[in-house]
């Protein structure tokens, strides 16, 4: 994916709207998260919300204990997965599988053979439970993985031949490799494990060595300037790799968090770069997600960011800004899922309904800027959050 690609995301035509009316209702504890290796079955009742009493000073409170109470990981909503969602996802996955190129890549139009779109398409199949060689779309994931591995340079950079400003694509591709490595049964005993581990390790080292002095990343693999959008791609990639057992320096994450924190505006949204800029909801969703994937679960920056998202981008609002639609909701749904509580309870049904109404008869989603393969991949990743398969969304 090129640098220009995600700066031009328009997200396609306005989805057909239902009568979705949401109010902003965030509890003070919405930033607290939880993690568990045993997610509940979708549709289980959520337990009552915890009280917000301030703990006594002499009692140590583990942030992960609080996370277990709030995160949607262990607090599934009743009816999270509806028959309409199941039908829509089934149709979408079937359409997407037919778009794979002979070399295993995905992408259309001027963004054909893209490592970023290939990674996102494969992640959407993995969101349904398929893995390389396993599951209904196992072959598609295997071919996509081979394409990504074939485009790993000795330097660690993952980019197709025509890529310019490749750090977006590198981040998404590294995330994909981390998820595959973490989900592959047998670990190091599998035939592809050595290639996968080597590529993942080099990709992470490239991210670490190209972090700029401010703490972020931008379009090219050089430590020059930075922006919030590219930075979250790298943070998610490093988190996925760390979940899979790859060592990631703490100082790299700490510097990135500080950069993103400094990019937050007084209104709770995030500017594009540190030097200047107003708030915009897609990058603000990415900003909130950065904190969670950096392991920060309680922070005023998270609460302010979530509140800003509800005010600026609640699905179903007539005045909702449609620019960078799929990109923004890809991160926003993650932010709300990890926030849990009322945030997830309000956001999830709204974005689920909006995306299902926007789906085409052939199962795809339109994105005239980047392409329908991209729009469909992003929509499927969003809609399959409640399946809780991908490790990156579980921890």
Contact (Cβ atoms closer than 8 angstroms) between residue 365 and residue 12? yes
Residue 21 within a domain: no
* C-alpha of 58 from chain center: 37
Residue 271 within a domain: yes
Give the closest residue to 167 by CA, choosing from 5, 285, 347: 5
Contact (Cβ atoms closer than 8 angstroms) between residue 35 and residue 380? no
Question: Tokens 């950069």 belong to which residue?
Answer: 259
Q: Which domain holds residue 305?
A: 3-10+77-393
Contact (Cβ atoms closer than 8 angstroms) between residue 339 and residue 302? yes
Tens digit of each residue's pLDDT (9 = 90 or more) over 209-260: 999 999 999 999 999 999 999 999 999 999 999 999 999 999 999 999 999 9
Residue 29 within a domain: no
Contact (Cβ atoms closer than 8 angstroms) between residue 14 and residue 49? no
What pLDDT is attached to residue 202?
A: 98
What DSSP character marks residue 217? B
Strand partners, 134: 131
Residue 19 within a domain: no
- Tallying the residues shown for the chain, one arrives at 395
Q: What angle do CA 178, 271, 347 make, to 5 degrees?
A: 65
How many structural domains are present in the chain? 1
- Predicted TM-score (pTM) of the model is 0.82
Residue 381 within a domain: yes
Residue 322: other Cβ atoms inside 10 A: 14
Q: What angle do CA 239, 365, 15 make, to 5 degrees?
A: 105
Residue 32 within a domain: no
Residue 23 within a domain: no
* CATH classification of the domain holding 364: 1.50.10.20
What residue ranges of the chain have pLDDT lower than 50?
1-68
Residue 248 within a domain: yes
Contact (Cβ atoms closer than 8 angstroms) between residue 269 and residue 281? yes
The two counts, helices (H) then strands (E), for the chain are 14, 0
């Amino acid at each position: 994916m090129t640098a220009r690609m995600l700066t031009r995301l328009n997200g396609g035509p306005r989805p057909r709207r239902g009568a979705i009316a949401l109010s902003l209702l965030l509890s003070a504890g919405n930033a607290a998260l939880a993690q568990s290796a045993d997610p509940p079955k979708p549709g289980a009742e959520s337990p009552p919300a915890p009280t917000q009493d301030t703990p006594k000073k002499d009692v140590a409170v583990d942030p992960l204990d609080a996370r277990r109470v709030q995160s949607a990981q262990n607090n599934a909503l009743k009816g999270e997965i509806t028959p309409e969602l199941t039908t829509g996802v089934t149709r979408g996955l079937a359409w997407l599988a037919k778009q794979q190129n002979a070399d295993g890549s995905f992408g259309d139009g001027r963004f054909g053979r893209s490592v970023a779109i290939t990674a996102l398409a494969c992640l959407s199949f993995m969101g349904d439970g398929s893995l390389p060689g396993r599951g209904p779309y196992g072959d598609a994931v295997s071919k996509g993985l081979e394409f990504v591995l074939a485009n790993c340079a000795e330097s660690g950079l993952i980019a197709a031949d025509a890529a310019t400003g490749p750090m977006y694509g590198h981040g998404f591709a590294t995330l994909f490799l981390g998820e595959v490595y973490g989900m592959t049964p047998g670990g190091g005993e599998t035939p592809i494990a050595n290639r996968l581990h080597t590529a993942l390790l080099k990709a992470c080292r490239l991210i670490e060595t190209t972090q700029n002095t401010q703490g972020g990343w931008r379009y090219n693999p050089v430590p020059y300037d930075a922006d919030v959008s590219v930075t979250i791609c790298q943070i998610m990639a490093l988190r996925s790799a760390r979940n899979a057992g790859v060592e990631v320096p703490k100082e790299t994450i700490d510097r990135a968090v500080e950069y993103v924190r400094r990019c937050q505006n007084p209104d709770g949204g995030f500017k594009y770069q540190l030097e200047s800029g107003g708030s915009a909801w897609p990058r603000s969703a990415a900003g909130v997600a950065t904190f969670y994937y950096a392991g920060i679960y309680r922070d005023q920056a998270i609460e302010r960011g979530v509140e800003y998202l509800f005010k600026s981008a609640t699905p179903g609002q007539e005045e909702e800004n449609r620019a960078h639609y799929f990109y923004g909701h890809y991160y926003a749904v993650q932010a709300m899922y990890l926030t849990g509580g009322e945030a997830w309870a309000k956001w999830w049904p709204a974005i689920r309904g909006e995306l299902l109404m926007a789906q085409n008869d052939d199962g795809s989603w339109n994105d005239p800027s980047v392409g329908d393969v991209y729009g469909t991949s992003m929509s499927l990743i969003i809609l399959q959050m409640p399946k809780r398969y991908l490790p990156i969304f579980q921890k």
